[in-house]
Amino acid sequence: MPVAYWCVLVAAILPILSAFPAKLTKEFDNANPRDPAFWQHGFRARAWAAQANGYEAFPFFAAAVFVAMSQGGNPHWINQLAVLFILLRLIYVFCYWTDRSSPRSLAWGAGCITTVALFTSSLWS
């Protein structure tokens, strides 16, 4: 199975992992995990936002991988672009956690460009 397909799986799981560290406190109530008050401030709010953005980015990335693979793009480049997307998303989440907005925005933009490159890869292979 191509690496790009494994990257789709990782991209699907990454949003869950983005919010997980915020739940590792005694204040987290697993009986009410979506309590808005818990997610309002600081690290918790940033972790929640990183999770939300991960869910927003996932459909376009997954579709781009499947379009790229089905339309005859170069599998080597598709795999590299998919791995790059995952690395950029990891950087994005780390920047969100550590409250670094400018590098986070750069990682987000590069991830979008990577997704467009995946989607259009069959045009330039």
| pLDDT single digits (tens) 46-79 | 999 999 999 999 999 999 999 999 998 999 999 9
pTM confidence score:
0.94
Report all structural domains of the chain as residue ranges with CATH numbers, in order of start.
3-19+43-123 (1.20.120.550)
What are the Cα distances from residue 109, in Å, to 1, 19, 59, 89, 112?
A: 28, 21, 16, 10, 5
pLDDT, tens digit (0-9, with 9 covering 90-100), for 67-115? 999 998 999 999 999 999 999 999 999 999 999 999 999 999 999 999 9
